[in-house]
Each structure stands twice: as structure tokens, then as C-alpha cells.
Amino acid sequence: MASPSRPPPPFAPQNPTPAPNPAASSLPASFSNLQISRAPPPFAPPGGGAAPPGNGPVSSSIRAPQVPPPGTRPFPGSPPPPSQSPPPFARPTAPGQQPPPPFGGPPGAIPSQPMQQQQRPAFGGPPSGPTPPQSQRAPFGGPPSAMSQPPPPFGGPQSSASQPPPFGGPPVAASQPPPFGRPSSAAAAAQSAPLGGAPFSAAQPPPFGGPPGAVPQPAPAGGLRPPFGGPPASSQQVPFGGPPQFGVPRPGTKPLPFGAQAAPASQPPAFMGVPGNALPFGPPGWQGQARPGVMSAGMQPMPGGMLPNALGQGMPSTPTMTYSPHAGAQVSTPSKIDPNQIPRPIPETSVIIFETRQGGQAAVPPAASSEFIVKDTGNCNPRLMRCTLNQIPCTGDILTTSAMPLALMVQPFALPHPSEEPIQLVDFGEMGPIRCSRCKAYINPFMRFIDQGKHFICNLCGFSNDTPREYLCNLGPDGRRRDADDRPELCRGTVEFIASKEFLVRDPMPAVYFFLIDVSMNAIQTGATAAACSAISQALSDFPEGPRTMVGIATFDSTIHFYSLKRDQQQPLMLIVPDIQDVYTPLQTDLILPISECRENLEQLLESIPNMFENNRVADSAFGAAMKASFLAMKSIGGKLLVFQSVLPSIGIASLSAREAEGRSNISTGDKEAHKLLQPVDKNLKTMALEFAEYQVCVDVFLTTQSYVDISSISVVPSTTGGRVYYYYPFSALSDPAKLFNDLRWNISRPQGFEAVMRVRCSQGLQVQDYSGNFCRRVPTDIDLPAIDSDKTIMVTFKHDDKLQENSECAFQCALLYTTVYGQRRIRVINLSLPCTNVLSNLFRYADLETQFTYVVKQAANAIPSTPLSQVRDQVTSTCINILQSYRKHCASVSSSGQLILPEALKLLPLYSLALIKSIGLRTEGRLDDRSYWVSVVSSISVLLAIPLVFPRMIALHDLTSRSDDDSLIPKPLTLNSENTLDFGIYLLENGEDGFVYVRNAVNPATLEQIFGVSSLAGVPNQLVLEQYDNELSRKVNEVVNEIRRQRCSYLRLRLCKHGDPSGDFFRSLLVEDKAPGGLSYVEFLVHVHRQIQSKMT
């Protein structure tokens, strides 16, 4: 399914206090062993000359865009003024034609009258204005109704006031009953091992507790607040801001660029949300590299065009020596380096307007973590595809010498900025899109037309093709077609083509969602079954409406229970499959039905399942057999299989055994074979996964567990079918149902497509070496994706097979054939053309730090199951050292061996490498499942989220009311060392997956009362559910948490860490700059890297 014109943003803007930038000569004398070479403006000539036209510093007028005056013609294809409805897909249409409905809906007329007084809270919650009749609803970009209002392109449900608030927020009235019988808060007494922490003895309290797994839990007292439920008050802020509405800026923000306007309050935003409460788009600017086109004043070029670096805080180009690395103990003395002057991420505070090509040349993209708005002028949006190197080496020898990787990170459905032009849809009719007859590349802006337009030369293989008669057009005096600017495929880096019949092997599959729920004794007693049923029931409103959306459901313990949901039945009919070795489906029909025909029966069934099995004493789980039986029911049509599992599969096909005890002893004794416990133990799961992928069935697994479940084996199925693992350990019926609901809701409602095939092509001289991600690969050139969504990233690595021509450009093209949720086959084509170079220093000058580091993280994750952890850590360190040693040897002009010289673009590589070495995935201690889950997350993680996963963000919560930088919701991040944690402080450290709330022992009781509603540290529950109280500090804490959840497109599970117990120790282990048992501090690591570089140089 194609991305909507205004999908939810993954993050929001930050405006932290700008980092100081003193003059280049202000380096402290005590810090003389570190030098960084600053890059010139993007694509400056090697000799240090001026940048080409259109590629200089970004002017202030661009960084602070203003709304054009009346009558000004906006940029072609830009978002319309407020008097117009935003184009859902910007498909070129003839005069008088209506554009197609958003997000791949069937073509048809969309009325232009806006919806009246309809306001949606973030993430598709209940509208705050009058609710139209059910017949008017068309969420998820569905076909418009016959009424006079357009559907929201990706909207959530329109519900009554009785529906729970959006994104699983806590209700306003504490007296409202919970959505299902969950355990009481007494469950907080049970605790288990920390994420990644060492095993604990029975006498030692574990850091993160969950309710016990074998004891039935009573329902909560009437005064307890359920984890999600009743609607928020009209004055309450949007609860738990997940991926929010689009196109509506926060009050006080700058106008949108390119003539774009925010939608008026009476018009529904392009994505669900409350107009006026929307938060603008932008990331927490972890600016780890020079901003494109910006060069500090007063900097002199070095030989070869390289520039000395001021490190952002000032550093002389020729610092004086204060110590010799050969002076023995002096080398490892941290006092020789000023910790306040070593490289750290600098938050980016301004919005960057990024044109993908300037002056006919590719522009260096901004950092993935910065806030930028893309103007597609030929190259693709860097959110969709970005390269580790922004200049391509002409030969493999140059690439090998640099020690840097050449790879693409492809995220085909990445969420755009609300102010960006939507991807345009092109229909060539029965003729189909124009392609090169030799290499089959799709028409793109870099194909050159010759002979009055009668032929075109492929930019990938160089073949001269005949132009189809229907596509002929004269050339202008500049050699371009006269209609080039009017055809998106000739002027845009990314377009979508409607697939012609040649791409249809079978009829497009419907959108099928099949739910498989664990009802074994443990799942019932821990509340996991009730949480799953409640989450599914609440998420039904987010399904796309229409006859093509179909659902089915089954439950399982030691047997499998299917349910017939036919409307003419008074109640759902249970059909039991007892054979778990040779499974089958009891019916060929009636198990999967259109949701419009069975919704009432499905809701009734979901409400009754927890009660039906409340006395179940079957502890076994036939997980593999249940998946196989569900697949047989879906085999003829494909779709998504969503599995809710709570215990280790113990019976039937693909049953597993507990390996955790063996793993702990092996890891603790340093067993060289311990990594084999992270390999899948059962080959049946891999065989099943390949069969699932062949029949276009994608599997997502939600693990609501309190014990070991062997994720390394289970994750094989999601990773092969384009799905993912969701992990809730230790599952708490008090705090986790809200996250489970929101994860499921986003899984269903995010931009996504089905039965996809992807291929990446490149210019002659390069070839694709490998693909990495969650997919099935049957042939070397293509990857099969039963489903792909906005969160999935595919890594593609390349190698040279010939020499590229200097001063030419190397082209990359990603083609994704997929089916939208409404059954239309489309081809999304993403183009990137980068200059080739023979100058090694150019590779370092235009290196993309975040993309390179994402490559390093993914390579480390891929190696974990097959390589001892110590070797993986050594590989990460060696990669960092080899890159910096290559730069030191071949590019740096400073001859003194006593200086650690870092290229400007890669100055944070040592810090990020150290953070990776200390991460959950690579640290020695920890649970097997935690490490396996980390590997599964990394396999499809985006560039945007890879950095915070290993280098988290820490902010202080106790002093939010005293901040002066109130223009940003989230304060400036703190350095990740213990010196920044005060005895009276409360801190939040988040990595995109979890939020760890660290409470020190001397915190003011009044502060505890304001944030947690208790006056003592002992009274703060371990199962943390953030409430909002009637005070300013509580309001700001909730705003910060909601904003982080919105930025990360994740509900961010909160976990309490108390100073003085194991959970506090685990929190401190995440402070990557500190010295840790068996790990170096940041200063020590820099010294170690420097020493290794010197050893290689001599």
C-alpha cells in the first residue's frame, strides 16, 4: 500500500539550546591529542575551491520559510493553500479530473468540500467534534462515501465517547471499570531479571518486576485506574502521542514552506489528529556531521581540499603536544584529555530545507536525525534511500583503502514530513511504465533523450532505447524534453506507477488479518489473553473498510480452536483441531470473512474468550501447530497472521526446550560455543517460514511473557516473512496492555503494502553484493516481501566489478512492486544518482556517519548468532580503527603521531562504536531472549532509530519547570555519564524501545508527589503507569513522554529504576561514557583507538 500524502511523522522538531561554537583557537591546552578535519561545503572541488552553484550555505531565508504573498505561484506540486484540500497522491490529471482517493484507494471522485467541525486526536482516536454517521466513515484512505466530505487519508476510527482514548492513554475517570479483568497492583511484588542484566538469586530483588506467572490474579479494586479505557476530557492533551496527525503545526510555529498552509480548523488534517494540538515534525537533532552546505568562517583548507575541524567548540588546526603516546602510563591517564571537549552529538535546532539536487549535482543529505524538509529535484528523499558514501569511489581499490562500506539503506515507505510534496502517481495505461529494454530499469530523470527525443540512453547500463511513439516529445535547447518538468517520472527522484497487466501474476490479494491467541494457563492467569482480546477489539475500528478487508481468529493451548463468524449464526461456532502433529483446517470457508459481515460476532467472541478459558489448566502451548493450521486457512489468499504467545512452545510441530539455564552458565564461564544458543534450534520453523512467504503470509509475533520463550527460534518466522517480533518482558497486566494495544493499532494502520517484490539496480561497474533485512530471497536479484511497512528498512551492499568513470555519476534505482490495501498493484521507483571520484579524501568528506554506523550495527547483529561475542566486539572496534587509520594515513596533513585526527563527518564514530560494544546485544551478561530480541529489532531498523537504540537519550525530569528553553518540548539531552545524575534527580533515558525512569535516593518528596503521586521512593510502583496530576511538573513530564512516543512512532514502555537496587545498576550500565566492568570509558576508548592507529602506522 502506498504511503499517504500526509502519513504520521516518526518524530517532532526539537529546539534545544544551541551548542556554543567558539573560535577555532579556543581549544584548552590540556586537550591537544584530538584533531578533527572539517569538511568544506558539499561537493567542493578537490582543490578546496568554491562549491558549485546552488550548493552553498543555506540562507536564513530558506531556513525560516515564509508564506508567499497573495498571488505568488507556489512551487509546482507543493501542498495547496488552505482553500484547497491537500492532494491525496498528487497524481497528474487532466483538467477537470478528480484525483484518486488517498493511500491507494480505488479511483473515483473525491468531493472537495471539507469535513465540517470534525477534529481527530492523534493517532486516529475519537474525534472531538460531531461524529458523522457510520455510513460516512472511510478511514485508512478508503473509498469516499457518497456524502459531500472527503475521507481522512489515514484516519482512525470515528467512535462514540465510550471508546478508549487514542494510543492507549489512561482514562480521566478513575472509577471507570477496566476493559478486562487484570491483576491488582499487588502484582507489583513479583520481580524478575533486568533487560540484559545478570541473573539474580532468589533472595535478591530483580530490577523490573512483573506479576507471577502461575498464581491467578484478582481484579483490581474499584479505585485503580485501568491501563486504558474511557475517553479523555475535552481539555486534556492528546494522550500518549503516538504517530500524530499531519499537516497541522503546533501553535506558534513557523509557516510551512513552499506556499504550504496548515489546514483550517474546520478541515480534517490529512492524518488523524486534533487541529491546533498537533506537534510539528522534526527529530531530536543528534547532529553528528556537518550540515550540508555550511562551513565555519575563518577555516583554512588543508592539502587535498580537506579542512581543519573546529569540533563545533573550537580547535586549532595545529594543536600543541602535551603528552606522548609512548610515555607509558601517561597515555591512559584520562586527565590528559578534557572530557568536556571530546566529540559528542550537537542537537540541531533549525529546520533544513533540502533540495536533493542543486546546480545539476547531487546535494549531501542532512543527518537522518535532523529536522529537514525535502524538495525532490531529481534525487529521492533521503528518508527513502540513503548511501553510506555521498561520492562513489571509481574503483574497488579506493573503497578498500578507505575501509568504509558501500551500502544503501532503503526504507520504501518511510514517513514523509508533513510539508513535503506527496509522491506522485503515474498511469501509463496498458502500455505500462517506460523501461530500458536491456536492464529493465524504469524511466527516471537521469535517462538522456537524443535524436529529437526518438531514443533515450539508460543511465544504468548505457543502452540506447527507442522511445515509444506514444511517449515522443521534442527536445528543448538545453537537450531536455520540453515536457520534462510536467512529467513526474522525468523530474522527481521518487514516483509510483500503476502496474500494468504484465505485472499481475494473479488477482491482487485482499487485506487479510488473522489473529491467533494463546489461551494456555499462563496466558490466562497473567492477563495476557485478556490484554490481547481487548487490544484486538479496540483496534477493529482502524481496519480499512470495504469487502476487501477480511478477518479470522483462532485460539490455542495444547489444541487449536477455530471460530466460524458467519453473521447468520447467533454466536460464533468453535471448531477444535486436536491433532497437533498433522494439522488441518476444519472448514475451507467461513473461517476468514469480510469484517463488515462478521464484526458483531467477532467483538462478542473477543469479549467472551477470557471467560471461556478462565479455568483452563492446560499449560502446554502448540505454537508451531497453531501457526501451521492458521496458515492453511490463509494459504489461498495470503495476508497477515498476528500471533499472541505467552510461553515457550512445548508440544506439537516445532516444539522447543528451555536453553536459558544452559546459556547463562556458558556465557558466565566464557564458553566459546555460547553463541550457538542464539541460533534457531528447530529447522521446522524455517521450513514453515519459507512456505508462508511463498504464499504471501506475513507473521507478526507479540510475546507477552514472564519467562524464557526462545526468541532466537521463534523470530525466524517473522524475519523470513516480512514481519517482526514484539516483546513484553516481564509482562505486566497493569502497565503493558496500553503498549500492546498501541503496537497492534500502529501495525494495522501504518502505511504498508502486501505481496511485494523488490529489486535494486545500479550502474555498470557496481553490482549488488547482498541484501539484509526481514524478507525471503529465492533468487539472487530479487527479495520477496509478503508485507512491507513504513518501519522496515532493507540494507543493500555493493561491490565493484569494473571501474567507474571519474566525473560521471553512479545511479541506484530501487523498484518495489506491491499491492495496496485496496487491491491496486503499484510500482514504487526510488532513484539516487551520486558523483564518482578517484580522490580518497572526498570519500571521507562526504561520508554519511549515521548510515555507516547503521551498517556497522546491522553487521554486528548478523554476526552474533555465528560468532563469539568477544570477536563481534573486536570487529566493531577494528572497523572504527581501520577507517580512522586510513584517514590518518592518506588524508591528514598533520604529521605529529601524538594527535588523534578524526574526519569531521565521522568524528562521532568512536563514541557510537563504544556505545554499540556496551549495548544489550554485545554485552557479555544478560538474558538470551534479550539479546535475540535486540538482534531481531536491528535486522529491519531504520537509520533514524539505529543510533538511539545503542546511544540513548537522557533528560532530567525533576527540573522541567525551571527550564528556560520552553520553545522545545524536550530539553537538551544530557551527556551519558554518571556525573550528570544528581542525588536529588529523576531522569528518563530512552532508546526508542523502552523508557527507563531513574529515581535517585535523595529526591525531594514533593517532587515524587508531583510526578508519581507518592511521597516516598518505596511507594513508587515497579509497574510504572504514568498518570497526570494537577500540577505543572506532572503536566510537563507527560508532555515530554508523549512527545518522545510521537517521535519514535512507538509507545515507549516505561520501566522504573531505583538507585541502590539492581534496576539502578542496570540504568547506570546504559551510561556509555562511564567506565564499566570489562568496558572502557569514552576517554579511555579514544586513547585505545589512538594507540591502535599509531601501532598500525608504525
| Per-residue model confidence (pLDDT) at position 965 | 60
pLDDT average, residue stretch 465-479:
95
Which of residues 676 and 851 earns the better pLDDT score?
Answer: 851
> Which of 57-66, 611-620, 845-854 is predicted least confidently?
57-66
- DSSP letter, residue 435: B
User: Residue 757 burial by CB count (10 A; 0-12/13-18/19+): exposed, middle or buried?
Assistant: middle
Output the 3-class SS for 818-864.
EECCCCCEEEEEEEEEEEEECCHHHHHHCECHHHHHHHHHHHHHHHC
pLDDT average, residue stretch 389-418:
98
pLDDT in tens, 141-199: 333 333 333 333 333 334 333 444 444 443 333 334 444 444 444 433 344 443 344 44
pLDDT in tens, 74-104: 333 333 343 343 343 444 443 344 444 333 3
Asked if pLDDT for residue 747 goes beyond 50, the answer is yes
pLDDT in tens, 407-433: 999 999 999 999 999 999 999 999 999
The cell numbers describing 846, all together, are 562526504
Percent of the chain with pLDDT over 90: 58
The architecture in CATH of the region 511-749 reads 3-Layer(aba) Sandwich (3.40)
DSSP-assigned beta bridge partners for residue 1024: none
| Per-residue model confidence (pLDDT) at position 336 | 65
| Per-residue model confidence (pLDDT) at position 660 | 65
CA distance 685 to 715: 9
| Per-residue model confidence (pLDDT) at position 329 | 26
DSSP reduced 3-state for 273: coil
CA distance 309 to 319: 11
Asked if pLDDT for residue 1059 goes beyond 60, the answer is yes
Which of residues 872 and 258 earns the better pLDDT score?
Answer: 872
Q: Within 13 A of 72's CA, how many CA atoms are on the CB side? A: 13
Asked if pLDDT for residue 315 goes beyond 90, the answer is no
Backbone angles phi, psi at 513, to 5 degrees: -125, 115
Alpha-carbon torsion, ordered 581, 586, 589, 595, to 10 deg: -80
Strands 1053-1058 and 994-999: parallel
pLDDT mean across residues, the chain: 76
Asked if pLDDT for residue 270 goes beyond 90, the answer is no
pLDDT average, residue stretch 1072-1080:
90
Asked if pLDDT for residue 282 goes beyond 60, the answer is no
Query: Please, are residues 707 and 206 in contact by the beta-carbon 8 Å criterion?
Result: no
Q: State which H helix or E strand residue 572 sits in.
A: none
pLDDT average, residue stretch 701-711:
96
CA distance 1068 to 1081: 13
Nearest Cα to Cα of residue 105 among 159, 157, 151: 151
DSSP-assigned beta bridge partners for residue 748: none
CA distance 794 to 813: 14
Each domain of the chain, given as residue ranges in start order, spans: 437-491, 511-749
Asked if pLDDT for residue 118 goes beyond 60, the answer is no
| Per-residue model confidence (pLDDT) at position 475 | 96
Query: In whole angstroms, what separates CA 1070 from the centre of its chain?
Result: 21
Confidence label for 672 from pLDDT (cuts 50, 70 and 90) = low
| Per-residue model confidence (pLDDT) at position 570 | 77
pTM of the model: 0.74
| Per-residue model confidence (pLDDT) at position 472 | 96
Confidence label for 586 from pLDDT (cuts 50, 70 and 90) = confident
Asked if pLDDT for residue 830 goes beyond 90, the answer is yes
Nearest Cα to Cα of residue 633 among 690, 564, 567: 564
| Per-residue model confidence (pLDDT) at position 963 | 75
Cα maximum dimension of the chain: 87
Confidence label for 681 from pLDDT (cuts 50, 70 and 90) = confident
Which of residues 130 and 805 earns the better pLDDT score?
Answer: 805
Spatial strand order of the sheet with 900-903 comes to 307-308, 34-38, 900-903
Query: How long a stretch of residues is the chain?
Result: 1098
Which of residues 1098 and 689 earns the better pLDDT score?
Answer: 689
| Per-residue model confidence (pLDDT) at position 1046 | 92
pLDDT in tens, 988-1000: 999 999 999 999 9
Confidence label for 588 from pLDDT (cuts 50, 70 and 90) = confident
Confidence label for 247 from pLDDT (cuts 50, 70 and 90) = very low
DSSP-assigned beta bridge partners for residue 988: 955, 997
| Per-residue model confidence (pLDDT) at position 79 | 37
| Per-residue model confidence (pLDDT) at position 113 | 40
Backbone angles phi, psi at 839, to 5 degrees: -95, 115
Backbone angles phi, psi at 192, to 5 degrees: -140, -175
Q: State which H helix or E strand residue 632 sits in.
A: helix 623-634
CA distance 86 to 84: 6
CA distance 427 to 1048: 35
| Per-residue model confidence (pLDDT) at position 202 | 38
Q: State which H helix or E strand residue 789 sits in.
A: strand 783-789
- State the helix-helix crossing angle for 595-612 and 528-539, rounded to 10 degrees: 160
Which of residues 956 and 58 earns the better pLDDT score?
Answer: 956
pLDDT in tens, 888-940: 999 988 666 778 899 999 999 999 999 999 999 999 888 999 999 999 999 99
DSSP reduced 3-state for 1058: strand
Percent of the chain with pLDDT over 70: 67
pLDDT average, residue stretch 766-791:
96
Alpha-carbon torsion, ordered 265, 269, 272, 274, to 10 deg: -20
Question: What is the full DSSP assignment across 685-734?
Answer: HHHHHHHHHHTTEEEEEEEE-SS---HHHHTHHHHHHT--EEEETT--TT
966 contacts: CB under 8 Å, gap ≥ 6: none
pLDDT in tens, 644-663: 999 999 999 989 888 766 55
CA distance 233 to 1: 35
Asked if pLDDT for residue 221 goes beyond 60, the answer is no
Task: Give the class (CATH, top level) of 437-491.
Answer: mainly beta
